[in-house]
Amino acid sequence: MDLRFFAQNALGGLAYGSLLFLIASGLTLVFGLMRIINLAQTAFYLLGAYVGLTLVAHGFDFWLSSVAGGVVTMVLGLAVYSAFLHRYHADPLTSLLLTLGFALILDDGILALWGGDPRSVSPPPMLRGSIQIGTLVFPEYWLAVIAISFTVAAIMFVSLRRTMLGVIIRASVDDEEMARGLGVDVNRAFYVVFAAGALIAGIGGLLGGPITSAYPGLDGELTPLAFAVVIVGGMGSLTGALVGSILIGLVNAFGKAMFPELSYFTIFVPVALIMAFRPQGLFGRKQ
């Protein structure tokens, strides 16, 4: 019974955490690179979910719809970035208010287009079963989400380490002035990172649908979790985002199971501990 409780929540937390990674990775990279706190990041996730579930309802393939949701989100995100945000890199307060304004517009637009009723999303047919180990039952779809997120994480890590653009991004996170001085096209890195952040969050929307479902206000509920991830992991660190996501996913799952009314408060515990002992986050660099 105890083992069952533990295993079920651990896997649930892991699945939820890997969804959080799809949101928080963009958040932390955009912040680390451009000092933009993107409050619309969870709205990107929600938009991706709605676009995706609409396509599924019209008979399109689940995976294809998910990617399409990501692409639509990315296009919208890039439009806002290039029209407004890119002017305010050095000005976190202004860019923060702009992204919040954008989040409000997105939220309300979603409400206008899709209405206020929660939409549930079924997993694709091939993943509707469960795996049984003894008395433990794991939905196959959870395992799939974990696998996909870890694959995305692996791709991001490899592209940051092995591609020219990745090197530029890492150099710019460390020292933008210096990167510019070396004649590096930092601007291109900005666009790519913002686009990738929106794309991944948007794809995550439909992928997460079977776990979180989709409803107006879901983005507001995810924001504290995503921010907790970034704080715990360290602002600007992808490794931190991965570890932080898993940690917050697990804390959230066990918190919800053990103190259902206080689950947001249980997230506060790792955040407070981190701030007390390692203000720069687990993998952040000292400022």
Partner 1 sequence: MTLQRRWLIAAGAGFIVALVLPRVGVPTFYISLLTQAWIYAIVAMSLDLLVGFTGLVNFSQAALFGVGAYAVAIAATRYHVVDFFPVVCIGIIAAVVTAAIFGLVALRSEGVGFIIITIALNEIVWGLAYQWVSVSGGDNGITGIVRPPVGPFDVSANTGYYYVCLAFFVISLILLSIIVRSPFGLVLKGVRETPRRMRALGYNVWLYRYFAMMISAGFAGLAGVLFAWYNQFVGPTSLSLDQSTQILIMVILGGIGTLYGQLFGALVVVFLSNELSAVTQRWEMVLGVVYFVVVMYAPGGLVVLVPRLWARLRGLRPAVERT
Q: Rule CB under 8 A: which residues touch partner 1?
A: 31, 35, 37, 39, 84, 92-94, 96-98, 100-105, 107-109, 112, 220-221, 223-224, 227-228, 230-231, 235, 260-265, 267-268, 271-272, 275-276, 279-280, 287
Phi, psi of 235 (to 5 degrees): -65, 125
CB of residue 179 to partner 1, shortest distance in Å: 19
**Displacement of CA 273 from its chain's centroid (Å):** 22
**Closer to partner 1 by Cβ: residue 60 or 264:** 264
Q: Which of 24, 39, 28, 41 is nearest to 100 (CA)?
A: 39
CB of residue 150 to partner 1, shortest distance in Å: 25
CB atoms within 10 A of CB 272: 11
CB of residue 31 to partner 1, shortest distance in Å: 8
For every residue of 34-99, DSSP letters joined together read H----TTHHHHHHHHHHHHHHHHHTT--HHHHHHHHHHHHHHHHHHHHHHTGGGGTT-HHHHHHHH
CA gap 39, 190 in Å, rounded? 17
CB of residue 82 to partner 1, shortest distance in Å: 15
**Closer to partner 1 by Cβ: residue 142 or 227:** 227
**Closer to partner 1 by Cβ: residue 85 or 206:** 85
**Closer to partner 1 by Cβ: residue 169 or 219:** 219
